[in-house]
Amino acid sequence: MTPLSAEHGMLLCAGLFLIGLVGVLVRRNLIFVLLSIEIMLNAAGLMLVLAGARWRQADGQVMFLFVLAVAAAEVAAGLGLVLAIHRRFRTLDANAASSMKG
């Protein structure tokens, strides 16, 4: 089994980040937007791990643990907001949230 080269790893991270970015910009369903943000966070975390492996430091893996903690907090808060929006508007369309008042 050959190790992943730095260039291929960066291309993988860029591809994952681009998929997440397109998902955030194109989709209107709030669940898909949250999933796309998760893909973007995982791409950034993978890049941190690759950079740490490139320079033989454990800093990238430590930072990835922080990225995972942020992702978990984002999912908890995001799903709470999605449930509140769904209960109020009976839809998961992101445009429905723009009509919220106060």
pLDDT of 2-56, one tens digit each?
777 889 999 999 999 999 999 999 999 999 999 999 999 999 999 999 999 888 8
CATH architecture, range 34-91 = Orthogonal Bundle (1.10)
pTM of the model: 0.87
Residue among 37, 36, 46, 43 at smallest CA distance from 17: 43
DSSP string over 15-75:
HHHHHHHHHHHH--BHHHHHHHHHHHHHHHHHHHHHHHHHTT-SHHHHHHHHHHHHHHHHH
What are the residue boundaries of the structural domains of the chain, listed by start? 34-91
Q: Which two tokens stand for residue 89?
A: 């508007």
List pLDDT tens digits, range 54-99.
888 999 999 999 999 999 999 999 999 999 989 988 989 988 777 7
- Contacts of residue 5, Cβ cutoff 8 Å, sequence gap at least 6: none
